[in-house]
Each structure stands twice: as structure tokens, then as C-alpha cells.
Amino acid sequence: MKKMLSMLFVAFFMAGCADASGRAIEEFKPSKDNEWHIVVFYENDPPEEAYQSSLNGIKVFLARKNIAAKISYQQIEDPKNYRELLQVEPKQIVVFDYKGVRLKARSPEVLEGMVLQLN
């Protein structure tokens, strides 16, 4: 009986954690299947101009593949702690599509390589 209760508690705890993560993903997901939302997480200051320019180049390339992309910059711990919710680090790029997380990259160059490999 005691073992059963403890297992039930663990299951509810895990479900609660997954639910918070799911809500965090939902806020970034686009509504259409041919849309991507590129989110760059940062700690103190948004990335510099060259970094943002690289992402804009990727956005143009995606437009040629008929994928509308939106780029946003999100502070990693404000208003939520995305470091824990989405397991991201500063300057990490997460690409969301209508299903959820599509790609994760540590730099625009890595993301560009991933995008070039898409069919």
C-alpha cells in the first residue's frame, strides 16, 4: 500500500512537470504547419548584430522553401525559468513548428547546417 502511494505520488509529480514544459512549448508554437518560430534564449543582453544577421539569413532561406519563420529573443529566466522548463542554455536556439520543438542548435552556423539538410 505504501509503495503504491509513493509510486502514485511520483507519477503525479512527473505529470505536473511535463505539463509545465508543455505549456512553455505551447506559447512558442506557431499555428500553421508551414510556419516556424525561431527562439534565441539569452541571459542578460540579446545577441549582437552579427548573430541576429545570421538568423535573418536563415529566415530568408526558409522563405525560399515556403516556410514562414518568425525570430524572437527570449530572456532565459524571465518571466519563466526556461532553463529548467525547456532544458536550454544561454544563446541556444530552439525552433518550434506546429507540433512542438523541431530543432535545437547552439549557434546560427549549426542551425544553418540543419536547415540545409532539410528536404
37-80: per-residue pLDDT in tens? 999 999 999 999 999 999 999 999 999 999 999 999 999 987 78
Return d(Cα 83, Cα 101) in angstroms, integer.
Answer: 15
Q: Where are the domains of the chain?
A: 2-116
pLDDT level of residue 19 (50, 70, 90 thresholds) = confident
Query: Of 105, 100, 109, 72, which is closest to residue 88 (Cα–Cα)?
Result: 105
Supply the pLDDT for residue 16.
46
Tell me the CATH number for domain 2-116: 3.40.30
